[in-house]
């Protein structure tokens, strides 16, 4: 999507693994045991990497469903407020309509008392729609000014009341549909997590150790890549300072031409730095709190709930979901990432963290984990979707 992203090389990525070594080992080993039990005699067992990928996909599906749940929940809340507002408006307008009807009734009663037969104003009380009233033009011609004013008020109140009732009906229908989406997303998340708990219950110590070793090697590689990014960024900063001292500013093309970026992006202004510091301070204060899907704090968070809350503490309002947050700022190359920027992951943009410098971020990884600092390469460099600097 962004120009700095690497092309994906088949077989080099272990997708979607954002679990502690223990949880990853547990899920992977049980999946392996299940496949082995179903395999024909003599058939090769799948590699640990292949099984690990399938387990990672299970977590990513749960995370994707979580973001859909977040979106549906936000939409449901807004729709419910709209319905409540419309129903309150309908009640008020119905009261005014009844008052207007009562005034027309008083004219009709007076005409009955004078023996006028079917009073002119009574025909409007029998009308079912505003159009029925407008069709009685010949009756209007016989009315006094006060009677016409009463009819005008009655027509206005009836028209507005019918309009608001229709809006309320449509909003209630939309609310019902959105609640259905919310229920569906919730069921998907719960099912994925239930599957994970079932797999964990079948963990073996030997497979746990083998998978823990693989996870450790992945973490070491992620740390190495983070250190390399930190070195690149330090070199770029030094080059900018030297150019500034010479009075020429940052030279064109001084940015990285490697896989992490191709052109120089102007550094964020000082006001961004101040806000970013506040966002990062908030995020650091949440380290150790559990990931809970759909949570926005203060006791627990999911990934986008954490980034939204952190930037809110800095006075910046971010949307609720990763799908919307990725569009809430300026995209920059990975090599140009600055503290406070948002790091998004995967083609479906289902995970996000807050960059804190030196190739590291703070994020809420997934169920069963806690908010923590981690390399942005924790799932490989190809997992990075984009870097966004919040507006």
Kindly name the residue from 108, 268, 283, 303 that is annotated as catalytic: 303
CA angle, 371 then 374 then 375, to 5°: 155
Q: Which tokens sit at 170? A: 């449509």
Contact (Cβ atoms closer than 8 angstroms) between residue 389 and residue 339 = no
Q: Which tokens sit at 196? A: 């994970």
Rounded CA-CA distance 253/250 in Å is 9
Q: Is 4 one of the annotated active-site residues of the chain? A: no
Q: Which of 196, 221, 200, 202 is nearest to 63 (CA)?
A: 196
Kindly name the residue from 363, 366, 385, 389 that is annotated as catalytic: 363
Kindly name the residue from 320, 351, 366, 389 that is annotated as catalytic: 351
Rounded CA-CA distance 376/356 in Å is 10
Residue with tokens 């025909």, as numbered in its chain: 123
Q: Is 351 one of the annotated active-site residues of the chain? A: yes
Q: Is 219 one of the annotated active-site residues of the chain? A: no
Rounded CA-CA distance 368/223 in Å is 22
Active-site residue set: 303, 351, 363
């Amino acid at each position: 999507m962004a120009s700095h992203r690497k092309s994906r090389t088949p077989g080099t990525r272990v997708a979607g693994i954002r679990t502690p070594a223990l949880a990853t080992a547990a899920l992977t080993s049980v999946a392996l045991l299940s496949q082995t039990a179903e395999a024909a005699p003599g058939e090769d067992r799948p590699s640990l990497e292949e099984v690990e990928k399938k387990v990672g996909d299970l977590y990513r599906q749960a995370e994707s469903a979580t973001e859909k749940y977040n979106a549906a929940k936000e939409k449901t809340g807004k729709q419910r407020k709209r319905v409540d507002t419309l129903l309150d408006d309908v009640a008020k307008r119905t009261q005014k309509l009844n008052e207007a009807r009562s005034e027309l009734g008083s004219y009709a009663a007076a005409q009955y008392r004078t023996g006028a037969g079917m009073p002119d104003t009574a025909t409007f009380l029998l009308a079912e729609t505003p159009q029925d009233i407008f069709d009685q033009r010949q009756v209007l011609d016989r009315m006094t000014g006060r009677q016409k004013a009463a009819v005008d008020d009655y027509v206005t109140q009836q028209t507005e009341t019918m309009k608001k009732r229709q809006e309320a009906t449509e909003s209630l229908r939309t609310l019902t549909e959105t609640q259905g989406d919310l229920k569906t997303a919730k069921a998907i998340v719960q099912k994925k997590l239930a599957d994970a708990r079932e797999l964990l219950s079948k963990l073996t110590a030997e497979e746990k150790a083998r998978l823990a070793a693989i996870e450790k090697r992945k973490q070491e590689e992620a740390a190495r890549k983070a250190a390399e990014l930190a070195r690149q960024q330090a070199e770029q900063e030094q080059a900018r300072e030297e150019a500034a001292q010479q009075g020429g500013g940052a030279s064109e093309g001084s940015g990285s031409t490697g896989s992490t970026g191709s052109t120089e992006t102007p550094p964020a202004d000082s006001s961004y730095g101040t806000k970013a510091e506040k966002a990062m301070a908030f995020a650091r204060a949440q380290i150790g709190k559990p990931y809970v899907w759909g949570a926005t704090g203060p006791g627990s968070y999911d990934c986008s709930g954490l980034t939204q809350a952190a930037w809110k503490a800095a006075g910046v309002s971010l949307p609720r979901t990763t799908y919307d947050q990725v569009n809430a700022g300026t995209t920059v190359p990975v090599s140009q990432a600055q503290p406070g920027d948002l790091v998004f992951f995967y083609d479906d943009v289902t995970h996000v963290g807050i960059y804190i410098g030196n190739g590291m971020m703070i994020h809420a990884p997934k169920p069963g984990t806690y908010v923590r600092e981690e390399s942005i390469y924790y799932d490989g460099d190809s997992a990075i979707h984009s870097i966004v600097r919040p507006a």
